[in-house]
Amino acid sequence: MAEENILSVQDIRKSFRHVQALRGVSLAARQVKITAIVGDNGSGKSTLIKIISGNLRPDAGQICIEGRAYSSLTIRQAMDCGLRTVYQDLSLDNFKNSIENIFLGAEITKGPFLDRQAMEEQARQLLAEIRVDIPDIHEPVRNLSGGQRQGVAIARALRRPGKLLLLDEPTAAMGIQESHSTIQMLERLREKGMTLLIVSHNLHQVFDMADYIYVLRAGQCMGSVATKDSSPEALQAMILQAENRKEAGL
Ligand SMILES: Nc1ncnc2c1ncn2[C@@H]1O[C@H](COP(=O)(O)OP(=O)(O)O)[C@@H](O)[C@H]1O
Ligand SMILES: [Mg+2]
């Protein structure tokens, strides 16, 4: 089966005043695969996610989704194309419970009232689908673990079914065990037919999970690999070589 790109970006550029956050980034996310974008802090990963999800306009470049090209997207357009996003800060309301967070801004109503029962049922179903165990979904999310909070944010993103899930540093604040179960959750989503684009600053962590990896450094893509044909060491050597070439002005 030919591997199609559900999403690709070409030569994306974005500056914030004098900071060139993205200096011509091109990459693609293949259908029903996990693509990872790795890079140090400040390399432009979140800026790229925000451009793809319609939160920021690029200064130049284009975004292609299922063969249609856009010079920029609105959040609505990105949603309508089937893109779902979990941001780095998760955007949860700490004082609200899991159900309220999953339906934040999209509450189900029955006549003039909130349909709490319908929301609770759907929230339980969404959490069960991604196998996130939250013993008490009436508990404010501030009392949940990092993995559970990430689960609530993913359940919210998938409340409306989507095709491509963008996740910005999904395991950043987690211990080893929780990172592991979050990675398993993401792999199960891929098995169910979801395409994933995941940002991480940990090359070794994504190597086991991702099918493709792109490395960002100072707003530029330093290289990419298919993980099945590579190793973290080979990728690191490739990045070093690219840096040396740049320094030598080649
Ligand atoms: N809204 C903003 N205003 C000014 N500078 C920004 C803004 N967002 C990001 N930057 C700068 O752009 C660069 C890339 O940031 P970011 O995309 O958040 O990197 P990463 O997610 O890889 O850590 C950094 O130098 C950052 O300080
Ligand atoms: Mg970031």
Quote the CA–CA distance of 202 and 71 in Å, as a whole number.
Answer: 30
Are the C-beta atoms of 191 and 182 separated by less than 8 Å? no
What pLDDT was estimated at residue 172?
83
pLDDT given for residue 116 in this prediction: 93
pLDDT score recorded for residue 208 = 85
Asked if 94 and 152 touch (Cβ cutoff 8 Å), the reply is no
Over the Cα atoms of the chain, what is R_g? 19
Token pair listed for 155: 């359940």
Query: How many other CB atoms are found less than 10 A from the CB of residue 163?
Result: 17
Pick the ligand that lies closest to the CA of residue 56.
1
pLDDT at 175: 83
State the Cα–Cα distance between residues 56 and 83, nearest whole angstrom.
15
Cα–Cα dist 217/222, whole Å: 6
Q: Is 75 left (phi over 0), alpha (psi -120 to 50) or beta?
A: alpha
Domain boundaries, the chain: 5-90+164-247
Sign of the CA dihedral running 53, 158, 64, 11 = positive
| Domain 5-90+164-247: top CATH class | alpha beta
CA-50 nearest atom, ligand 1: 17
Tokens of 237: 């050597």
Cβ of 247 below 6 Å from ligand 1: no
Report pLDDT for 113: 93
- Give yes or no for residue 21 CB within 6 A of ligand 1: yes
- Residue 59's pLDDT is what? 98
Q: Determine whether the shortest distance from the Cβ of 50 to ligand 1 is under 6 A.
A: no
With a 6 Å cutoff on the Cβ, whether 43 touches ligand 1 is: yes
**pLDDT recorded at residue 1:** 43
- The pLDDT of residue 3 is 62
- For 59-103, what is each residue's pLDDT tens digit? 999 999 999 999 999 999 999 999 999 998 899 999 999 999 999
List, for the chain, all residue ranges whose pLDDT scores fall below the cut of 70: 1-3, 250
CA distance 45 to 201: 9
